[in-house]
């Protein structure tokens, strides 16, 4: 019995030592592969795909992938794109997500430009993993955000009423500083809107827009009675989305 126990102990020690030696030996001989992506376009992690679920296939993320292995033993590349996104070649044709790299000279370095085409708005994570012949791996994770439209923001630069020379007050607001959050993707302000709510009987009256021919400036020249009401202002972008409606309390301009 004692002999059997000793034998088991010795076997365990040998196995452990062999494991350490082989891992060390293995690391000396083999180096981990490397993977990288060079961003070649601005804001490559955010994309406007439009309201119609990306019918325009020219709208995509660019994903260049470069893999290398110092000792030329690349085995494969696997790209996990998840649901809701299509991986294509740089010409737009559907691409494989798995690549066998185990042949010369590809086993030393490999490069390819992909496109990522989301079909719906949302956040996506794409993970590319390269593996070498000794199962050493390197991964690259890319997080991207696709949106259909961002609403505009209404900004009030000026809001006041003037003391009347007669019984007519003048209420004026300036919301020309309003902007669309996705201007750099083709968004823009299509309409400036304002309503003057006066306090006499809580009635609302429209305000003359495009005062002086300038969109974004409103004036109500016949604000009746007490002009100490308030103005409701908002803007609409070129895709029909409205900003929040802002309540503007008026102050008397000296």
**Residue ranges binding Ca ion (CB under 5 A):** 30, 69, 71, 73, 132, 149-150, 180, 182, 187, 237
Write down the least CB distance from residue 138 to Ca ion, Å.
10
Q: In the complex with Ca ion, which residue's Cβ is closer, 179 or 211?
A: 179
Write down the least CB distance from residue 185 to Ca ion, Å.
8
Residue 213 DSSP class? G
Q: In the complex with Ca ion, which residue's Cβ is closer, 160 or 179?
A: 179
Q: In the complex with Ca ion, which residue's Cβ is closer, 187 or 216?
A: 187
> Would you call the peptide bond into 105 cis, given omega within 30 degrees of 0 as the criterion?
yes
Q: In the complex with Ca ion, which residue's Cβ is closer, 3 or 55?
A: 55
Write down the least CB distance from residue 146 to Ca ion, Å.
14
Total residue length of the chain: 254
Kindly list the distances between the CA atom of residue 82 and the CA atoms of 90, 97, 119, 130, 161, in Å, as whole numbers in the listed order.
19, 11, 12, 17, 57
Write down the least CB distance from residue 72 to Ca ion, Å.
8
- Please give the residue whose beta carbon sits closest to Ca ion in the complex: 187
Q: To 10 degrees, the CA torsion angle through 208, 214, 216, 221?
A: -30
Write down the least CB distance from residue 133 to Ca ion, Å.
7
Kindly list the distances between the CA atom of residue 156 and the CA atoms of 160, 190, 192, 217, 233, in Å, as whole numbers in the listed order.
11, 17, 11, 10, 8
Residue 108 to residue 44: CA distance in whole angstroms = 28
Q: Are 208 and 215 in contact (CB under 8 A)?
A: no
Q: In the complex with Ca ion, which residue's Cβ is closer, 92 or 188?
A: 188
The count of other CB atoms within 10 Å of the CB of residue 95 is 17
Write down the least CB distance from residue 152 to Ca ion, Å.
6
The count of other CB atoms within 10 Å of the CB of residue 252 is 11
- Which pair of tokens denotes residue 87? 């991986």
Q: In the complex with Ca ion, which residue's Cβ is closer, 19 or 188?
A: 188
């Amino acid at each position: 019995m004692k002999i059997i126990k000793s034998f088991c102990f010795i076997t365990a020690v040998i196995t452990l030592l062999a494991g350490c030696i082989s891992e060390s030996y293995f690391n000396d001989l083999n180096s981990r592969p490397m993977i990288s992506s060079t961003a070649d376009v601005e804001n490559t992690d955010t994309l406007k795909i439009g309201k119609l679920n990306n019918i325009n296939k020219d709208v995509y993320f660019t994903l260049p992938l470069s893999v290398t292995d110092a000792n030329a033993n690349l085995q494969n590349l696997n790209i996990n794109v998840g649901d809701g996104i299509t991986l294509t070649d740089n010409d737009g044709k559907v691409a494989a997500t798995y690549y066998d790299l185990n042949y010369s000279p590809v086993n030393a370095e490999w490069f390819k430009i992909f496109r990522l085409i989301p079909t719906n708005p949302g956040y996506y994570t794409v993970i590319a993993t390269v593996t070498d012949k000794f199962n050493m791996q390197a991964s690259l994770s890319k997080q991207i955000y696709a949106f259909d439209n961002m609403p505009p923001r209404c900004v009030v630069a000026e809001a006041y009423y003037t003391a009347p020379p007669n019984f007519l007050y003048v209420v004026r607001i300036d919301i020309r500083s309003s902007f669309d959050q996705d201007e750099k993707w083709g968004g823009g302000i299509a309409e400036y809107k304002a309503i003057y709510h006066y306090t006499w009987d809580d009635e609302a009256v429209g305000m003359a827009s495009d005062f002086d021919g300038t969109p974004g400036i409103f004036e109500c020249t016949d604000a009746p009675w007490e002009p100490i009401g308030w103005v409701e202002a908002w803007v609409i972008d070129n895709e029909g989305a409205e900003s929040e409606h802002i309540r503007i309390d008026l102050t008397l301009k000296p």
